[in-house]
Amino acid sequence: MRNICSKCNSFILRPMCALCLTDEVEAWLSQQKTSLVPKLKDHVMPLLERIRTQESQKCSFCLMETRYITCLYCYTKYVYDWLEQTDRELSKEFLEFFKDFLTKPKQVYA
Ligand SMILES: [Zn+2]
Ligand SMILES: [Zn+2]
């Protein structure tokens, strides 16, 4: 199914691949705490495996065909949970910066 998040089944208005999302978070993190950037990558790897879909779809950001599409919420929530345990102060900054991403999407019931 296209434009449906493989993690939470919500409809994705603007599909964005996990690599683009990682770039966004990484750009932010490297300005906050560079030492956490490699750890972020380690943390994101298992998520990529989990969200990998059968069909590829186009990322609306980098325009690449990709199998790693997730909604903004699932991705940023996943990173947020990790950051909260790693660096509580920084997780508050993250929440503030990515609050639009962290708005829970409406679920689609097929
Ligand atoms: Zn989702
Ligand atoms: Zn992309």
Following DSSP, what letter does each residue of 25-51 receive, concatenated? HHHHHHHH-GGGHHHHHHHHHHHHHHH
User: Could you tell me the distance, in angstroms and rounded to a whole number, from the CA of residue 68 to the centre of ligand 2?
Assistant: 9
User: Could you tell me the distance, in angstroms and rounded to a whole number, from the CA of residue 73 to the centre of ligand 1?
Assistant: 6
User: Could you tell me the distance, in angstroms and rounded to a whole number, from the CA of residue 101 to the centre of ligand 1?
Assistant: 11
The predicted structure's pLDDT at residue 47: 94
The predicted structure's pLDDT at residue 109: 59
Tell me the pTM.
0.88
Which residues make up the environment of ion ligand 1, defined by Cβ < 5 Å?
5, 7-8, 71, 74
Tokens 């296209």 -> residue: 2
What does each of the 110 residues of the chain score in pLDDT, given as a tens digit?
A: 578 887 888 888 888 899 999 999 999 999 999 999 999 999 999 999 988 888 888 999 999 999 998 889 999 999 999 999 999 999 999 999 999 999 877 666 55
Partners of 16 in the beta sheet?
70
The predicted structure's pLDDT at residue 34: 97
